[in-house]
């Protein structure tokens, strides 16, 4: 998948002007947030359930290396083949190679952000292998060559007429319709044909259970179930942080995951797979491959701060709660992961070179932190990335900041550590700002604050600061 | 009489000094003696949020030196209180001495409405006004400090004040410090949304606990809806005590 994080500002502007995006954003994030809150109320103790999820993810991340080894051993004992992929290239090569070796000419896929991260569809296409997305939303975005707009609903923003048009163009339907049920049914029939003779299915993984070597997927359409059960060869791709210690832990994470993602206490389908078909079983894939993807995560793990982002379970609750996502939607974030989730994951995985806007496009409102079922402190992480960026951190590829900005902060902090200098600084600030005053307000300042004044005024700075007024008052009392 | 040290944010000091004066008025009304250290400057929030940690530490050390001998410190700004209370310890992660000094200071710092309701145990201030009031939940105040019931209780306690529901009260106004200047279109979309909800609420006044949000919302209203008023809670409560709050006509 093409990475466009460096275009955050431009894409934001396009999306702010896109009426479909804006129409959708006015409704859906609020509705999903409300549903999530309602679903949490079905816990006997919502706060305890929330905190319990944090603890599970905390333990999982702290014990990550050991849990992954246990998971591998148990998955292998179940008959699965485990491949450790250091990066996208290694993962894609393994999967393409496997497909070629088995003489597969097409594969089907369950919706998975990790394969978006890999750019797996493109890699398969280069090898002449068709990849069919089988989640309805992902199917639509694939036909349209669009990135996912929302992690849970990749095509939620696409108007129904556009879906009708692309379905006609691609031969999914013969005659036009804007009936959502008819469109859904057409896609279903179209994809059923792909499942019928399927040789190889590819899915992501929501949770991997160390103690049993099980991979778990949640979904609402049944397509993942078909991807996992109908082909001869099953490939499950997981980023390495998806592991939890026990099945009991996994069960609780499913409770919070489904509630956080879609406001359901349980999704319509949950599949737990522990290895391929056994000799005494009548169905299931003959081969099960589990690709465990690193792609920079071991490095993230080494830093106790960035490690925190590995808690993420990709529920998307942070997107729905984010004021910025609520205005610009998923495209500006420029990679597989959007919203606050992307803002904490992408800089750690891609470095800071092209993510400078991503780490700053946040008002630090803390809603994502409070809603996160995995216990990620997004604001602290973003502040950490900003500090690494201006410090020119080598590991993350920080920019070192702009010299003008650094100068302002240096002078400001020097003035602010001595009240006499502060006094001089405030007089200069007042003179400079008030130079442009119109009565008791300022409508613009020529340099440095164009963004602010594009839509806002500033009150003219009063002749006497609070400090001066207070000192005057004290003086008059003494008289 | 309880001595209360006032932590006056730089924004209040330079741009909105009446908020500081009204903070003092409220404290006196509650039989406290406000004290003010004229050496205070800025807590370092802006530098910290921009990633300039050395600069933020320089300001934080100055802040700690000025305030660390005070028993109770009160500020009319949720975001500045959050900085001192919850961020200073992160800032001095590698410096045990200053980390300790920051940690010792943190529990003594309060946001104004939090101090009045939680620490003094007062929910009835007296005062009166005739206005419909909407309350904007400033993000740092609500999400970082968990303060929401306190200011609303104080608003309700004002005789004649009708607290009306505000759609999206807890959605960010788009200020975010330098965010407002760096991402003006997104910021404007958010402050416009806030203003629209305020207009829809039918309230005369929009009250909040953070001077940052106030600068943003008031700045937007002043440009686009000059008849609509946004005020800081210290101004609202002190004006109510003086009987100076009137519904916009």
Mean pLDDT of B66-77: 98
Residue A243 half-sphere exposure toward CB, CA atoms < 13 A: 28
**Alpha carbon distance B126, B242 (integer Å):** 10
Q: Given A9, A366, A391, which is nearest B139 (Cβ)?
A: A366
pLDDT at B1: 83
- What's the pLDDT band for B243 if we cut at 50, 70, 90? confident
Helix (H, G, I), strand (E, B) or coil at A82: strand
Q: pLDDT above 90 covers what percent of chain B?
A: 96
Q: Which residues have a Cβ under 8 Å from the Cβ of B121 and sit 6 or more positions away?
A: none
| Interface membership of B226 toward A (CB under 8 Å) | no
Chain B residues with beta carbon closer than 8 angstroms to that of A455:
184, 187-188, 191-192, 220, 223-224
Q: Which of A290, A350, A306 is nearest to A61 (CA)?
A: A306
Please judge whether B190 and A469 are an interchain contact, meaning their C-beta atoms are less than 8 angstroms apart: no
Would the CB atoms of B17 and A388 count as touching at under 8 Å? no
CA distance A57 to A272: 19
Mean pLDDT, rounded, of chain A: 96
Amino acid B14: pLDDT: 96
Q: Pick the residue of A30, A304, A409 with the most B CBs within 10 A to test the interface with B by mutation.
A: A409
The per-residue pLDDT for B188 is 98
Give the confidence band of B246 by pLDDT, cuts at 50, 70, 90. low
Contact criterion met (CB < 8 Å) for B143 and A388 = no
Q: Across the interface, which of A380, A417, A469 has its CB nearest the CB of B62?
A: A417
Residue B249 has pLDDT above 60, yes or no: no
pLDDT tens-digit series, residues A76-112: 999 999 999 999 999 999 999 999 999 999 999 999 9
Contact A385/A396 with Cβ under 8 angstroms? yes
Spatial CB neighbours of A426, under 8 Å, sequence gap ≥ 6: A465, B13, B14
Q: What percent of chain A has pLDDT over 70?
A: 100
Size of interface A-B (CB pairs under 8 A): 196
3-state SS class at A308: helix
Beta bridge partners of A109: A133, A202
Mean pLDDT of all residues in B210-228:
97
Over residues A174-219, the pLDDT tens digits come to 999 999 999 999 999 999 999 999 999 999 999 999 999 999 999 9
What are the residue ranges of helices labelled H in A202-350? 223-229, 247-262, 297-302, 304-307, 317-321, 325-328, 339-350
Q: In degrees rounded to 5, what are phi and psi of residue A59?
A: -60, -45
Checking if the pLDDT of B4 tops 50, the result is yes
Report pLDDT for A173.
Answer: 96
Mean pLDDT value of segment B18-30: 97
Segment (H or E) for A216:
strand A214-219
User: Is 90 exceeded by the pLDDT of residue B109?
Assistant: yes
Residue A357 CA to residue A386 CA, distance in Å, equals 10
Instruction: Name the one residue in this structure whose structure tokens are 């806002």.
Output: A456
Q: Which of B183, B220, B221, B222 to mutate to test the interface with A (most CBs of A within 10 A)?
A: B183
Question: Å from B49 to nearest chain A CA?
Answer: 6
Beta pairing partners, B135: B207
Q: What are the pLDDT digits (tens) for A402-455?
A: 999 999 999 999 999 998 999 999 999 999 999 989 999 999 987 889 999 999
Question: Any residues with CB less than 8 A from the CB of A358 and at least 6 apart, and which?
Answer: A5, A8, A333, A334, A342, A343, A346, A347
Residue A122 has pLDDT above 50, yes or no: yes
For chain A, the first-to-last Cα distance in angstroms comes to 74
**Six-digit token pair at A169?**
């163009």
Residue B166 confidence (pLDDT) above 50: yes
Q: CB distance B139–A367 less than 8 Å? A: yes
């Amino acid at each position: 998948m093409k990475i466009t994080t460096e275009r955050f500002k431009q894409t934001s502007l396009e999306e702010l002007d896109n009426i479909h995006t804006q129409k959708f954003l006015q409704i859906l994030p609020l509705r999903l947030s409300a549903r999530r809150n309602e679903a949490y109320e079905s816990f006997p103790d919502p706060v305890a359930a929330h905190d319990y999820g944090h603890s599970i993810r905390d333990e999982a991340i702290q014990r990550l290396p050991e849990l992954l080894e246990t998971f591998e051993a148990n998955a292998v004992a179940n008959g699965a083949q485990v491949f450790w992929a250091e990066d996208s290239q290694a993962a894609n090569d393994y999967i393409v190679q496997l497909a070629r070796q088995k003489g597969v000419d097409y594969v089907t896929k369950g919706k998975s952000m990790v394969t978006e991260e890999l750019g797996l569809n493109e890699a398969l296409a280069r090898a002449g292998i068709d990849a069919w997305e089988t989640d309805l939303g992902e199917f639509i975005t694939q036909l349209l060559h669009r990135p996912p707009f929302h992690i849970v609903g990749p095509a939620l923003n696409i108007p129904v007429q556009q879906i009708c048009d692309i379905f006609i163009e691609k031969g999914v339907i013969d005659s036009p319709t804007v009936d959502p049920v008819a469109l859904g049914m057409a896609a279903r029939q179209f994809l059923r044909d792909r499942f019928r003779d399927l040789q190889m299915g590819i899915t992501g993984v929501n949770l991997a259970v160390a103690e049993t070597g099980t991979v778990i997927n949640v979904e609402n359409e049944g397509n993942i179930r078909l991807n996992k059960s109908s082909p001869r060869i099953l490939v499950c791709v997981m980023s390495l942080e998806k592991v939890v210690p026990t099945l009991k832990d996994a069960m609780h994470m499913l409770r919070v995951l489904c509630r956080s993602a879609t406001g359901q206490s349980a999704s319509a389908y949950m599949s737990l797979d522990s290895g391929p078909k056994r000799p005494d079983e009548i169905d299931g894939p003959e081969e099960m491959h589990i690709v465990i993807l690193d792609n920079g995560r071991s490095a993230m793990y080494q830093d106790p701060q960035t490690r925190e982002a590995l808690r993420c379970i990709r529920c998307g609750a942070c997107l729905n709660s984010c004021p910025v996502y609520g205005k610009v939607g998923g495209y500006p974030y420029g990679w597989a992961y959007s919203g606050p989730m992307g803002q904490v994951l992408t800089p750690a995985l891609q470095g800071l070179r092209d993510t400078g806007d991503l780490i700053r496009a946040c008002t630090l409102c803390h809603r994502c932190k409070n809603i996160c079922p995995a216990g990620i402190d997004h604001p602290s992480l973003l502040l950490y990335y900003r500090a690494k960026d201006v410090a020119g951190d080598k590991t993350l590829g920080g920019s070192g900041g702009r010299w003008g900005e650094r100068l302002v902060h240096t002078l400001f902090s020097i003035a602010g550590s001595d009240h006499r200098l502060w006094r001089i600084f405030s007089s200069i600030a007042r003179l400079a700002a008030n130079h442009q005053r119109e009565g008791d307000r300022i409508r613009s300042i020529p340099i440095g604050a164009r963004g602010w004044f594009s839509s806002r005024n500033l009150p003219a700075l009063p002749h006497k600061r609070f400090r001066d007024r207070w000192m005057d008052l004290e003086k008059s009392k003494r008289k | 009489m309880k001595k209360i040290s006032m932590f006056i944010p730089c924004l209040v000091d330079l741009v909105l000094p009446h908020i500081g004066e009204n903070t003092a008025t409220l404290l006196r009304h509650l039989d406290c003696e406000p004290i003010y250290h004229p050496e205070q400057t800025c807590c370092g929030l802006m530098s910290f949020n921009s990633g300039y940690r050395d600069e933020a530490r320089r300001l934080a050390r100055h802040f700690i030196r000025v305030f660390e001998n005070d028993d109770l410190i009160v500020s009319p700004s949720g975001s500045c209180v959050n900085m001192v209370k919850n961020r200073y310890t992160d800032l001095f992660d590698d410096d045990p001495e200053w980390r300790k000094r920051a940690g010792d200071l943190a529990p003594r710092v309060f946001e104004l409405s939090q101090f009045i309701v939680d620490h003094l145990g007062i929910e009835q201030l007296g005062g009166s006004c005739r206005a419909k009031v909407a309350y904007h939940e400033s993000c740092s105040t609500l999400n970082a400090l968990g303060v929401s019931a306190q200011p609303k209780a104080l608003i309700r306690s004002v005789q004649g004040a009708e607290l009306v529901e505000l759609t999206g009260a807890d959605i960010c106004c788009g200020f975010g410090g330098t965010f407002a200047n760096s991402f003006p279109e997104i910021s404007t979309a958010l402050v416009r949304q806030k203003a629209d909800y305020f207009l829809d609420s039918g309230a005369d006044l929009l009250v909040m606990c953070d001077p940052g949000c106030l600068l943003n919302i008031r700045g937007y209203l002043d440009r686009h809806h000059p008849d609509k008023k946004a005020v800081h809670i210290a101004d609202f409560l002190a004006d109510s005590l003086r009987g100076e709050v009137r519904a916009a006509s």
